[in-house]
Structure 1
Amino acid sequence: MPLSGHCLCKAVTYTVDQDAPLITAYDHCDDCQRQSGSTYSLVAVVLKDKLTINGPIKKWTGKGSSGNDVHRLFCSDCGSPIAHDPDAAPEIIALKAGTLSTEIKQTLKPDTEIWTVSKLPFCQEHLEKPFKHMPE
């Protein structure tokens, strides 16, 4: 079953021609904390060429820790974050897992924890082998 999801107002929808994410990660980076308004962002990493997005998307571009641009995609109507697209890894895109269809996100099993160097001190690590930065 392909992955699918939508923003809060359903103006933006997407499908991914993959049955499962490449990784599902707790992302503790400061930018994800700010974009999500929470302690981390749960992301589902997929192949960018398998993703189709429909609807009114806006993009904000900032610098990632690599010095390369990271494009943050969000619904221009309701503001829901949809994904972040790092130039440092052009073949992948990180969907905000909370936007996945309900039946899909209920079966997610996070397998990676990244940017724990930015993890807030009151957050417990979720997995045994977290990455201080991005995995190589």
Structure 2
Amino acid sequence: MPLTGHCLCKAVTYTADVDAPLLTGYDHCDDCQRQSGSTYSLVVVVPKDKLEVKGPLKKWEGKGSSGKSVWRWFCQECGSPIAHDPDAAPEIIALKGGTLDSEIKKTLKPTQEIWAVGKLPFCQEKLENVAEYMP
């Protein structure tokens, strides 16, 4: 079953023609924290040649620790981050896990942490109070 997803406004849609991601994990790098607006970014890595994206996509060029470009893809309509595309690893692309279709993202099983050196200290702690929802 391919991986499918979309941005918040549904102007950008994508399909990755794969049976399963190459890797699913938490990316703790500073850039992913900033792009996600959170403490990490859930990434789903797939072969770039298996990905088809439709819609008004914008790309922003940043620099990775390798000194090579990392292209941040996002919807130019609503600003949702879609993926990051590192020139240092041209064969892969990291989709933002939150943009996958709901039934697909419920099945994700993150197995790795990436750039754990950037993991924020409070992410090490286990929370005592977990709310199922916020009113």
Mapping 1:100-119, distance limit 5 Å: 100-119=100-119
C-alpha RMSD of matched pairs (Å): 1.2
Aligned to 2:21: 21
The CA distance in 2 between the partners of 1:95 and 1:109, in whole Å, is: 15
Question: After alignment, is 32-41 or 116-125 more displaced?
Answer: 116-125
Deviation, structure 1 residue 125: 8.1
Aligned to 2:70: 70
The CA distance in 2 between the partners of 1:25 and 1:106, in whole Å, is: 14
* Structure 1 residues 110 and 85: alpha-carbon distance in aligned structure 2, compared to 1, 3 A threshold: same
Deviations 1:62-82 (A, max 9, x none): 100110000000000000000
**Stretches of 4+ aligned residues off by more than 4 angstroms:** none
Aligned to 2:130: none
Aligned to 1:58: 58
Structure 1 unaligned spans of 5+: 127-136
Please give the secondary structure, in 2, of the residue aligned with 1:122: helix
The CA distance in 2 between the partners of 1:10 and 1:48, in whole Å, is: 21
Give 1:64's aligned amino acid: G
Deviations 1:9-49 (A, max 9, x none): 00000001101110001000000000000000000000000
Give 2:96's aligned amino acid: K
Structure 2 unaligned spans of 5+: 127-135
Please give the secondary structure, in 2, of the residue aligned with 1:123: helix
Give 1:16's aligned amino acid: A
Mapping 1:1-136, distance limit 5 Å: 1-124=1-124
Q: Normalised by the size of structure 2, how large is the TM-score?
A: 0.91
Identity of aligned residues (%): 79
